[in-house]
Structure 1
Amino acid sequence: MNDYQIKIVKIEGDFEWHDHQDTDETFIVLEGALRIDFRDGHVTLNSGEMYVAPKGVEYKPFADSEVKMKRLTEPQRMMYGYKFANTSLRWFFDAGPRSLNSKKRLS
């Protein structure tokens, strides 16, 4: 939508600290509980809740167990390659689930 990516993802585990200098990032939890850590605190999102991480603020998402959520991210031309530690992340498209680093369909 307007060059922004809306993604439905399943996540589980701990992410690395990062920020987005040029855009906010929106998280909408569909199932489960997501914690977003900041250097000075955290927020916890449950099913049906939304949070916008402001641009330039460093944060780290964490999911103790599988979380299904929607993410609204920066324009496609600015998509970053993330490194995830102990994290299971799959992107879901019309053709089925795919991994972050692959165009191959996951089974």
Structure 2
Amino acid sequence: MSTLSCHVLDTTLGVPARGISVSLYLTNDLMHGTRPIATAVTDEDGRAAFDQEIELGGDYSLRFNSEDYCQQSFGTVFFPFIDVHFRASDERHYHVPVLMSAHSYTTYRGS
């Protein structure tokens, strides 16, 4: 079992993206694939942590609901949400940062 956290940074304004709702889905489980198994909201530092443990071999999705943030910060919405899919392949902590701007985003496995 592993733990999971995420971080959203607004690279346009150079600040953490606070107040973004993030949902966690177990995508290889038909029973849970359509509803989140956990939710969180990014804090003042743009960070969110999940109480839900991540199981080795599981396929997961994080959905960052970015529409409200984009509208308020950029005055436009190109990405109403950002989905990040990953597989839990080892038992280290999973940290998923998202760097976003009005018209782009990138992600990686953090530490």
TM-score greater than 0.5 by the shorter chain? no
Looking at secondary structure, tell me which structure has more helix per residue. 2
Looking at secondary structure, tell me which structure has more strand per residue. 1
> TM-score scaled by structure 1?
0.34
